[in-house]
Amino acid sequence: MGNTSIVIVSHSKKLAEGLLQIASQMAGQSVHIGIAAGIGDELGTSAPAIVDEIMKCPLESPILLFFDLGSALMNCQMALEILPDDIAERVTIVDAPLVEGIISASVSASLGQTNLDVINAAMEAYQIRKILD
């Protein structure tokens, strides 16, 4: 399989665009990062929008979904049910902090790490201390 792709699922299009900007700067052009965020100009998430963004990911690449809130998780899960099985089996919903998880994952993916290593890097973001005593 190819490099890991990342899809940011957020209620806020502005939040997702900001995360995309940061992650793209950190990872460079080697990692496909997409967003499925907002519903038009309103806040919200949509399973069909998530499916559309997943379908833009490079063929054969493992795909990680990062989400901001519980209803975004539900839409990620619904998206997996809509997708054809061969694509859905390449998708993992990642339980990680949104900002730190996406940054860690995008950097790890840009270094060519395995999909499992990219997932682990994202999940390890739970342990990142921002203020050291």
Provide the residue ranges of all domains of the chain, joining segments of one domain with +.
5-127
Per DSSP, 49 falls in state H
Q: Please write the tens of the pLDDT for every residue from 57-70.
A: 999 899 999 999 99
Catalytic residues: 11
CATH superfamily of 5-127: Phosphotransferase system, mannose-type IIA component (3.40.50.510)
Q: CA–CA separation, 119 vs 74, rounded Å?
A: 20
pTM: 0.94
- Listed as ranges, residues in the chain with pLDDT below 50 are 1
- Cβ atoms 1, 61 nearer than 8 A: yes
